[in-house]
A and B are shown apart, each in its own frame.
Chain A
Amino acid sequence: DQQVKQNSPSLSVQEGRISILNCDYTNSMFDYFLWYKKYPAEGPTFLISISSIKDKNEDGRFTVFLNKSAKHLSLHIVPSQPGDSAVYFCAASVVSNTGKLIFGQGTTLQVKP
């Protein structure tokens, strides 16, 4: 039972355009969400997070949107750069649950020069 789903295995965008990565979840108890980026042969690195009391969080070129009623979150990268090419994972947790994260399957983003 996949509680966190990233339905698009891959995404290709042109440099300078917007990248939108999507994530859906089924567990209404989730109240904290994170995005991680992973390059080949490296561990994932934290990108941005959002609490369920917010519907948007911004950090430079990265913005995460949360739609609780739809159980959907998205990561917007604008403008996209070739260095953004990586696998992106969304993750969700329940605040009271010892920091355990549930990850999605990942989306591979390719930004073409």
Chain B
Amino acid sequence: DVKVTQSSRYLVKRTGEKVFLECVQDMDHENMFWYRQDPGLGLRLIYFSYDVKMKEKGDIPEGYSVSREKKERFSLILESASTNQTSMYLCASSLDSPGEQFFGPGTRLTVL
């Protein structure tokens, strides 16, 4: 079974803090993705990566950056957290394109 794990289920941060969200997958998948889920807006793609050290912007990259130094790990970074970044963050990975994406359990981030 594919397993995608995220470092925290719940996180509370202060405005202006730098926030790191970590995601690890154990199935040697090439592609990894970061989404945020907000009520009424569905899942929106922040960034994705199709190879180590490769990254591409998704639909809403502003205020975020990513890092992929190893194939299994994809980090999302909020350089200076703001209250409008309070959301559910979901990481996913996939082997093929197109193909099923496997999701982690999500991190509920609250920025105060």
- Asked if A97 contacts B97 (CB within 8 A), the reply is yes
B-side contacts of A102, CB under 8 Å: 45
Bound complex: CA A49 to CA B98 (Å): 10
Instruction: Determine if B75 is an interface residue (Cβ-Cβ < 8 Å).
Output: no
Bound complex: CA A9 to CA B50 (Å): 32
Chain B's nearest CB lies how many Å from the CB of A59? 13
- Asked if B45 contacts A46 (CB within 8 A), the reply is no
- Asked if B45 contacts A43 (CB within 8 A), the reply is no
Which of A14-22, A61-69, A73-81, A103-111 faces chain B? A103-111
Instruction: Determine if B58 is an interface residue (Cβ-Cβ < 8 Å).
Output: yes
Q: Which of B101, B103, B105 has the most CB of A within 10 A?
A: B101
A-side contacts of B64, CB under 8 Å: none
- Asked if B105 contacts A43 (CB within 8 A), the reply is yes
- Asked if B56 contacts A98 (CB within 8 A), the reply is yes
Bound complex: CA A44 to CA B56 (Å): 22
Instruction: Determine if B43 is an interface residue (Cβ-Cβ < 8 Å).
Output: yes
With A43-B90, A98-B31, A98-B56 given, is the CB distance from A103 to B42 under 8 Å?
yes
- Asked if A43 contacts B43 (CB within 8 A), the reply is no
Chain A's nearest CB lies how many Å from the CB of B42? 4
A-side contacts of B56, CB under 8 Å: 98
A-side contacts of B42, CB under 8 Å: 4, 6, 89, 103-106
B-side contacts of A42, CB under 8 Å: 105-106
* A window 30-71: CB within 8 A of B: 31-32, 34, 36, 41-46, 49
A-side interface residues toward B, CB under 8 Å? 4, 6, 9, 31-32, 34, 36, 41-46, 49, 89, 91, 93-106
Q: List 29 A-B contacts (CB under 8 A).
A: A31-B98, A36-B103, A41-B105, A42-B105, A43-B4, A43-B103, A43-B105, A43-B106, A44-B43, A44-B103, A45-B103, A46-B100, A89-B43, A91-B43, A99-B31, A99-B94, A99-B96, A99-B99, A99-B101, A100-B48, A100-B58, A101-B33, A102-B45, A103-B35, A103-B42, A103-B44, A105-B40, A105-B41, A105-B42
